Amino acid sequence: MPKITYIEHNGAEHVVEAEKGVSVMEAAIKNMIPGIDADCGGACACATCHVYVDAAWMEKVGKPEAMEESMLDFAHEPKENSRLSCQITVADSLDGLVVRLPEFQG
């Protein structure tokens, strides 16, 4: 199973094995990673599963679609590498993915 590393705002690292086909958000919830709220459960409606994709992975993860991009505009401290983790699907090509969490979701 692909490994994903979540790094909390305080630097705490969590490496999880994620099932292919689920979202990076779902893998975080399943593994109880603090800092991802996912209030809407993955409907791309709330922007509370915001992550920063590690620079080395940006190309493989790809760009957000228009809806997600607009949601991200209003997330807490959006950056160039911001994504909503409910919109990233775990795949073999993402084995080793590193994402960082914002200070808070909101």
Partner 1 sequence: MKERAIIIGAGQAGAQAAQTMRQAGYDGDILMIGEERAPPYQRPPLSKAYLQGELAAERLVLRPPAFYEQQKIELKLGVRVCAIDRAAKLVETGAGERLPYDKLLLATGAPPRRLDCAGGDLEGILYLRTTADSDALRPVLSLRGRIVIVGAGYIGLEVAASARKSGLNVTVLEMADRVLARVAGKEISDFYEKLHLDAGVDLRLGAALDHFEGDGRVGAAVLKSGERIDCAAALIGVGAAPATALAEAADLRIANGVWTDEHAQTSDPFIWAAGDCASHPSQIYERRLRLESVPNAIEQAKVAGANMAGGAAVYDAVPWFWSDQYDVKLQTVGVSEGADETVLRGDPASKKFSVWYIQRGRLLAVDAVNDPAAFAISKRLIAARRAIEAKTLADPDTDLKSLVS
Q: Which residues bind partner 1 (CB under 8 A)?
A: 22, 26, 29-32, 39-41, 43-47, 67, 70-71, 73-74
Cβ distance to partner 1 smaller for residue 70 or 93: 70
Taking the complex as a whole, the smallest distance from the CB of residue 102 to partner 1 amounts, in Å, to 15
Cβ distance to partner 1 smaller for residue 29 or 88: 29
Q: Six-digit token pair at 39?
A: 């209030």
The amino acid sitting at 94 is L
Taking the complex as a whole, the smallest distance from the CB of residue 54 to partner 1 amounts, in Å, to 25
The H-or-E segment that residue 7 falls in is: strand 3-7
Cβ distance to partner 1 smaller for residue 11 or 21: 21
What is the rounded CA–CA span in Å between residue 49 and residue 40?
Answer: 9
Taking the complex as a whole, the smallest distance from the CB of residue 71 to partner 1 amounts, in Å, to 5
Q: What is the 3-state secondary structure (H, E, C) of 32-101?
A: CCCCCCCCCCCCCCCCCCEEEECHHHHHHHCCCCHHHHHHHHCCCCCCCCEEEHHHCECCHHHCCEEEEC
Cβ distance to partner 1 smaller for residue 57 or 90: 90
Taking the complex as a whole, the smallest distance from the CB of residue 28 to partner 1 amounts, in Å, to 11
